[in-house]
Amino acid sequence: MSDLVIHNARVFCGVDEEVLDNGTVWVSNGLIKYAGSSTDVPEIDSGVERYDAEGKFVMPGMTESHVHLSYNNAHPQQLNNQPLPIAMLDAVDNARVLLGSGFTSAISFGSAQGLDIPLRDAINAGRVPGPRLAASDRDLGSTGSNADGASGGDMAKKIIADGPWAIRKAVRSLAKKRCDIVKIFLDGEAISAYAPPGVLTYSDEEVEAAVSEAHIRGMRIVSHSRSAESVKQAVRHGVDIIGHANYLDDEAVAMLEAERHRIFVGPGIAWEIALLDKGAQLGLPREDMERLGYQREIDETISSVKRLRESKVRVLIGGDYGLNITPHGTNAKDLEYFVDLFGMSDAEALLCATRDGGAAANTEGMVGTLEEGKYADLVVVDGDPTIDVRVLQDHDNIVGVMKNGVMHCGLMQSNPYVSPFSQ
């Protein structure tokens, strides 16, 4: 793998909010050799390939912290309905689109039919383009949990396990499949008839079994926890990344703050906003969704994230893209929510997407910032997201996405390979 020097760039290293007006990034053997001011670059051999960024913005690749590559841009109540061969093709497409949107890492929060593992392996082998994927498998939940469909659990899509030993067996089966992540449901969803937020769907013994077994096997565990009680249960038993955390009380905030060195929270608010805005087209009118509590949930999330920021708990972008109202590839919309709803500056939202997401995605600290020795995962952007994060939503502004030192361009074209024989 040869070296590449990107010069004449505006460089956002992602360590803090600073943007270097005249910056250089030197990539060597898939790693960052230098990222910083052009005036301090070590001497570059004359043979090294150079790319003149012409003043474009260079930033670390982003992390989608709560991805479902098995989602097929369908109605929220009709997800994962496609047969396995089609689902796999969709997932391959979704991975390419996510990378093309500037996301070089992703943390799976569950994949129906276990699509993630072969997909991760194919991405790592260079067979298909996609982000570095911390892969999970099917969701783990109890009977009558949000993982359990109204007609009973479809085991191709979920794992329903009750009792510590059944849960340990389920987690061991995920280790056998070589998962990186175990996704567990600790409470429910307002739209669910029998498992609303606030009803704990696992007991403490069951959560303890799931977390300890996952950790023994070298996997991390992520939870769906909307209520303060389920967040506390997750923190108490050592869950690594908490999804949603919409409703927090003083005790929950204090517990998260005490564990902020190791724990991450991803509000995953996009689909709820989209549900209220566009639900009418889906037969889910706003009045009905408000009656179920979704507006209140958004309001609570806004005040919860404010408290998490004050407590310096790391908050991650992303979550539940891949519905018809939140299609894959629109994931950068989350940064806009972080600015508009949570009151962050554009640069702060960008740090959530890069530095903090990277810390969650790769526990060895190899992604999320442009620093010497880290993986060369970066995005070349036409525009300045520290002034307006919305520039990241327009794929035309994503000039190139580098992962592991390899620059990908044209990923958003569904068929980027044109045979010379077809002309």
- Residues that bind Zn ion in the complex, under the rule CB under 5 A: 109, 320
If the CB atoms of residues 109 and 202 are measured against Zn ion, the closer one turns out to be 109
If the CB atoms of residues 266 and 383 are measured against Zn ion, the closer one turns out to be 266
Q: 375, 31 in Cβ contact below 8 A?
A: yes
- Dihedral sign (CA 159, 164, 166, 170): positive
* Beta carbon of residue 158, minimum distance to Zn ion (angstroms, whole number): 13
Q: For 220, phi and psi rounded to 5 degrees?
A: -100, 160
* Beta carbon of residue 68, minimum distance to Zn ion (angstroms, whole number): 6
If the CB atoms of residues 93 and 320 are measured against Zn ion, the closer one turns out to be 320
* Beta carbon of residue 233, minimum distance to Zn ion (angstroms, whole number): 18
If the CB atoms of residues 189 and 206 are measured against Zn ion, the closer one turns out to be 189
If the CB atoms of residues 62 and 241 are measured against Zn ion, the closer one turns out to be 241
* Beta carbon of residue 58, minimum distance to Zn ion (angstroms, whole number): 31
Residue 135, token pair as written in the block: 């892969």
Q: 67, 108 in Cβ contact below 8 A?
A: yes
* Beta carbon of residue 268, minimum distance to Zn ion (angstroms, whole number): 6
Q: 9, 24 in Cβ contact below 8 A?
A: yes
- C-alpha distances (whole Å) from 193 to each of 71, 130, 189, 190, 200 are 22, 36, 9, 8, 14
**Secondary structure class of 186 (helix, strand, coil):** coil
Strand partners, 398: 381
If the CB atoms of residues 187 and 320 are measured against Zn ion, the closer one turns out to be 320
Strand partners, 74: 323
Residue 36, token pair as written in the block: 């910083």
* Beta carbon of residue 234, minimum distance to Zn ion (angstroms, whole number): 15
Residue 180, token pair as written in the block: 């990186």
